[in-house]
Amino acid sequence: MAASLNRVFLIGNLTRDPELRYVPSGTAVTTFDLAVNRVYSTQSGEKKEETSFIRIVVWARRAEVCAEYLTKGSPVFVEGRLRTRSWETQDGQKRITVEVIANNVQFLRAAQAKQALSKNGVSAPVSGVPEEDLNSIDLDSNVSQNNSEDIPF
């Protein structure tokens, strides 16, 4: 069996407010679209910018936190995996989409990160952390920062 890897890292801005729904089992699911820009130079030296729009799907408590604190334009870092989904429309056409299932969403706007951390019961002294350092805080407060399972080697 050949090795495989399905891992995505994205930094971008929300194109609209997140949509929070609940599946019949009661689990929260939030979706939002992320605009990711790429700047490159053509052979003639002209700078060009290309924007990709990517659907992000977030589940469980993380979905509720994203829906509560993120808004259109919010900068985020998303770590997840690609998933392809297909369905048939009412008129019989087959549709296919590729989306990112987020394992981790980090708020890159310090004020949003600070507000989410304090409201979700994180006991870390956020007031003692410089604003610029809040940009890299993981919002999953259930995971210890010293968890050896998170080390990739």
pLDDT tens by residue, 28-56 = 999 999 999 999 999 999 999 999 999 99
What residues have CB less than 8 Å from 103, skipping those under 6 apart?
Answer: 79, 80, 81
What is this structure's pTM?
0.70
Q: Which residue has the tokens 């994205």?
A: 10
> What confidence tens digit (pLDDT) does each residue in 57-107 have?
999 999 999 999 999 999 999 999 999 999 999 999 999 999 999 999 999
Task: Identify which of 109, 123, 25 has the alpha carbon closest to the alpha carbon of residue 70.
Answer: 109
Which pLDDT belongs to residue 97? 92
Pairs from 22-27 (Cβ < 8 Å, separation ≥ 24): 27/59, 27/60
Nearest CA to 80 out of 98, 97, 105, 60 is that of 105
pLDDT tens readout for residues 109-132: 876 666 666 665 543 333 233 333
Packing angle, helices 110-119 and 60-69, rounded to 10: 130
**Domains of the chain (ranges, CATH numbers):** 8-109 (2.40.50.140)
Q: What residues contact residue 79 under an 8 Å CB cut-off, 6+ apart?
A: 7, 8, 9, 102, 103, 104, 105
141 secondary structure, DSSP code: T
